[in-house]
Amino acid sequence: MRIKPIGKRVLIKPVKEEEKTKGGIFIPETAKEKKKQGIVIELGDELKDVPIKKGDIILYTGYSSEEMEIDGEKYLILDSKDIVAKIEG
């Protein structure tokens, strides 16, 4: 299945969080801090002149994203204004 966001929206795949610290200590779900990082999967039609492209890793904010599951994988559709940075390097 292929999802194409409409307008100024972006389809991202959230980056999976680590379950253990570097020292090997297990982190319970309730103690995890949600990272707001994701990989850009698809861009909406109105986002031709933005500095992000498919495959970029981004930081995002906001609570207005649409969450969905496709083929057992979690994805989010969010408004482009909720993207605050692109991770480079």
Q: What is the pLDDT of residue 71?
A: 87
Judging by DSSP bridges, how do beta strands 66-70 and 73-79 pair with one another? Answer: antiparallel
Domains of the chain in start order, with CATH, are 9-16+31-87 (2.30.33.40)
Rounded Cα distance, 51 and 85, in Å: 10
Our CA angle for 11, 27, 35, nearest 5°, is: 25
Do 27 and 42 meet the contact criterion of CB atoms below 8 Å apart? no
pTM beyond 0.95: no
Rounded Cα distance, 85 and 68, in Å: 23
Tens of pLDDT along 13-67?
A: 998 766 666 777 777 666 555 668 999 999 999 988 889 999 999 999 877 788 9
